[in-house]
């Protein structure tokens, strides 16, 4: 690998191999255990505090944990998915739900005193609106979560919703659609006016929305009498094929760029 580097005294190395040979020798187990012992010894001498583990940069804790992530919970009902999942991962979650008594119950369930997450996380907005009438603010969301409600939308509204909602995603953001799946075709429920679509029905609609499947997962551990459930992670850009690895920074605490 022809990637040059530096050490903390400012000395330069032509490449990583030169540095590793100096640090570890040629497969010398003694030198390697010195390397690791020195790492552990360093940390053993550090106080067990946030400031300690962040190398004196305790004040970057808040922005480190809070990376201004925002989620939307569509057809949120009483806020079950937000409460058990989304609020842990996003600083702000907006809920939208057309049935007002569900939304009111979500407000209570997600009141700060009923949440077991840090004060950096909160349910931000409660919108009483159905998906076919919702237009998100531009680039607000990292994730738009749509669980067990898209069956209420007619195909044209399904497509129009996702096309509008795409503009509400931040660059790199995604949709998660978790839904019941019919074995083939669709199953219409005449009582609640919803349809359960098959996997290929969904794929045809994703296509028409200009959405790509980034990942797909089957629900496990559900009773046999229930519909199969799938989770689709959908992106607006065609996922890159093959080697997805990106160069990673290899530090384990905040450090000044040299």
- Packed helices 29-44 and 16-24: angle between N→C axes, nearest 10 degrees: 90
Nearer to ligand SAH, 53 or 129 (CB): 129
Q: How far is the CB of 104 from ligand SAH (least distance, A)?
A: 12
Task: Specify the stretch interacting with ligand SAH by CB under 6 A; choose among 44-52, 141-149, 212-220, 244-252.
Answer: 141-149
- Say if CB 196 and CB 189 are below 8 A apart: yes
Q: Give the list of residues 6+ apart from residue 44 with CB closer than 8 angstroms, or none.
A: none
Tokens of 48: 């067990």
CB atoms within 10 A of CB 139: 13
CB atoms within 10 A of CB 188: 12
Task: Specify the stretch interacting with ligand SAH by CB under 6 A; choose among 15-23, 45-53, 143-151, 183-191.
Answer: 143-151
Q: How far is the CB of 66 from ligand SAH (least distance, A)?
A: 26
Per rule CB under 6 A, count of chain residues that contact ligand SAH:
17
Nearer to ligand SAH, 152 or 197 (CB): 152
Is residue 110 close enough to count as binding ligand SAH by CB under 6 A?
no
| Euclidean distance between CA atoms 149 and 89, whole angstroms | 22
Nearer to ligand SAH, 63 or 223 (CB): 223
Q: How far is the CB of 210 from ligand SAH (least distance, A)?
A: 21
| Euclidean distance between CA atoms 201 and 251, whole angstroms | 46
Is residue 105 close enough to count as binding ligand SAH by CB under 6 A?
no
Instruction: Give the DSSP letter of residue 154.
Output: -
Q: How far is the CB of 126 from ligand SAH (least distance, A)?
A: 13
Taking CB under 6 A as the criterion, which residues in 83-102 touch ligand SAH?
Answer: 97-99, 102
**CA angle at residue 96 from 90 to 99, to 5 degrees?**
145
Nearer to ligand SAH, 93 or 153 (CB): 153
Is residue 71 close enough to count as binding ligand SAH by CB under 6 A?
no
Phi, psi (degrees; rounded to nearest 5) at 93: -125, 130
Q: How far apart are the first and last CA of the chain?
A: 21
Query: What is the pairing mode between strands 12-13 and 5-6?
Result: antiparallel
132, 198, 208, 235: which one binds ligand SAH (CB under 6 A): 132
Nearer to ligand SAH, 65 or 188 (CB): 188
Site residues for ligand SAH per CB under 6 A: 75-77, 80-81, 97-99, 102, 130-132, 147-149, 152-153
């Amino acid at each position: 690998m022809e990637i040059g580097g530096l050490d903390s005294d400012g000395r330069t190395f032509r490449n990583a191999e030169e540095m590793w040979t100096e640090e570890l020798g040629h497969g010398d187990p003694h030198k390697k255990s010195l390397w690791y012992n020195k790492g552990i010894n360093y940390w053993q001498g550090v106080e067990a505090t946030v400031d300690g583990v962040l190398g004196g940069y305790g004040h970057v804790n808040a922005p480190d944990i809070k990376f201004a992530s925002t989620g939307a919970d569509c057809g949120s009902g009483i806020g079950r998915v937000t409460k058990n999942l989304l609020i842990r991962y996003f600083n702000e979650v907006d809920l939208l739900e057309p049935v007002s008594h569900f939304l009111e119950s979500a407000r209570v369930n997600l009141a700060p005193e009923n949440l077991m997450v840090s004060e950096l996380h909160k349910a931000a907005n409660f919108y009483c609106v159905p998906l076919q009438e919702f237009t998100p603010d531009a680039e607000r969301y990292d994730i738009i979560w749509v669980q067990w409600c898209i069956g209420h939308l007619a195909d044209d509204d399904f497509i129009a919703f996702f096309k509008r909602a795409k503009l509400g995603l931040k660059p790199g953001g995604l949709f998660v659609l978790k839904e019941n799946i019919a074995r083939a075709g669709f199953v219409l429920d005449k009582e609640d006016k919803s349809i359960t679509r098959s996997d290929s029905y969904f794929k045809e609609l994703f296509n028409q929305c200009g959405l790509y499947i980034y990942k797909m997962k089957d629900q496990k551990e559900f009773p046999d009498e229930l519909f199969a459930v799938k989770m689709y992670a959908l992106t607006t850009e065609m996922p890159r094929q093959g080697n997805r690895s990106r160069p990673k920074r290899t530090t384990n605490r905040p450090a000044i760029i040299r």
